[in-house]
Amino acid sequence: MIDKRYFIPAALTLLLNINNVHAQKTQMQIARNSVGKLQAAIANKQDEKAQMAILAEGIKASESTEKDKKTRKWPETWAIKSYLSSYISIVDPNESNSDKYYDLALQAIDSAKSFDKFEDNSGLIAASIYNINIKKQRKGNAAFEKNDFNAAYGFLKDVSNFFPNDSTLAVNTALSAEALKKDSEALTYFKKAKDNGMKNPVVFQKMANIYVSKLDNAQAIKMIEEGIRLNPYNTSLTNDYINLLLDNERYAEAGKVIENTLKVETKDKLLYYLYGYLHQKNLNLSTSELAYNKSISLDQKYFDALYQLGLVYISTGNQALASQDKDVAKFSSSLNRAEVILLRAHDIRKKDKTTINLLIEIYTRKNRFDKVQELRAQLDEY
């Protein structure tokens, strides 16, 4: 006679297997449905609470399919998990929970790609990667605000490469690289921003500065010129342009730029200062004097203009003595003017040694040795 005890376990095993397969299908269906529900909730602009409830249900089902020895090998299991986890990472207000699902999403994406040989779930994977990059951008911005430029650059570089046409993102990536003194990388992303339509003058200034540091002055000038074409009469760009031209001894070009700009910008003290400096270099002292005085009229405490004007008066006095007529009166008048102007400069910057030395020279010529002694004491003190 057959012992019926042996049939019962077999029947139970079959029943358990059937139940297990049913459970697998049920959990997978719940996970699939959660994706559809979530997309509908997003389309209908349901609030965060409603979305999080859908995500909780979907994640729970996804975790069940992940643990099952059959469904854990299905590409769909990991594609769904990556999508749901990545979405949690960008909507969950709890930062630690958001970061947790960000990490889980990264792992799930790798698993989904490895199993999905025929790219049946490419849409879900692509959506997951998109969400991950949104999260990376937030992490990069947060790191930048904390001056953690190494982390910021790592995140923002990846995101900028993912969104290649986003000029603002490229600028932020470049700024992170610049903070790390990675000039070549910064230049790459500033260029990227420019090529995508960024017109902000700062971008062109930053690029010019990098070229100057690389001793490529021609390219630096070209970059500022491009910036000015996009931002006509921008004061900051114009001043940089003039300074670059002066530094490279392109004085005639600098003069034309200043003259044309002064027709529009009549209240820029720096432009008048540079115009005065340019004519001073060419020994056009009367024009230089007028320009410095105009600059000082716009800012009574403009030290650089005061100091240079003092030099102009000293040079004018020296020329008067060196002339055939030896115009002593003009020399004396110029020396007095230099004294007055340089004393004003000295009041603004008490410790400036070049100003003190010029005043010592003036008082020596005037035989004012009490003043000479007083100023030399200041030199020793500073």
Mean pLDDT of 280-291: 94
Residue 10 has pLDDT above 70, yes or no: no
| DSSP track, 6-64 | GHHHHHHHHHHHHHHHHHHHHHHHHHHHHHHHHHHHHHTT--HHHHHHHHHHHHHHHHH
Whether 20 has a pLDDT exceeding 70, the answer reads no
Model confidence at 17: pLDDT above 70: no
Listed range (198-212, 316-330, 352-366) with the worst mean pLDDT: 316-330
Averaged pLDDT for residues 282-305: 96
Question: Which residue type occupies 139?
Answer: K
Taking residues 2-10, report their average pLDDT: 37
pLDDT in tens, 197-228: 999 999 999 999 999 999 999 999 999 999 99
Chain centroid to Cα 303, Å, comes to 31
Lowest mean pLDDT among 69-73, 89-93, 128-132, 337-341: 69-73
Residue 345 predicted with pLDDT over 50: yes
**What does the pLDDT read at residue 14?**
37
Specify burial of residue 316 (Cβ count, 10 A radius: 0-12, 13-18, 19+): buried
Q: What does the pLDDT average to over 120-137?
A: 95
pTM score, whole prediction: 0.79
**pLDDT at residue 208, as a whole number:** 98
Contact 134, 163 (CB under 8 A): no
Residue 12 has pLDDT above 60, yes or no: no
CA 236/CA 197 separation, integer angstroms: 20
* Rounded Cα distance, 372 and 356, in Å: 9
| Average pLDDT over all residues of the chain | 91
Structural domains of the chain in order of their starting residue, each with its CATH number: 26-146 (no CATH), 267-382 (1.25.40.10)
pLDDT of residue 22 exceeding 80, the answer is no
Q: What is the pLDDT of residue 26?
A: 86
Q: What is the pLDDT of residue 144?
A: 97
Per-residue pLDDT at 11 exceeds 60: no
What is the pLDDT confidence band of residue 21, given thresholds at 50, 70 and 90?
A: very low
In this structure, what token pair is assigned to residue 186?
């910064």
Convert the pLDDT of each residue in 143-194 to its tens digit: 999 999 999 999 999 999 999 999 999 999 999 999 999 999 999 999 999 9
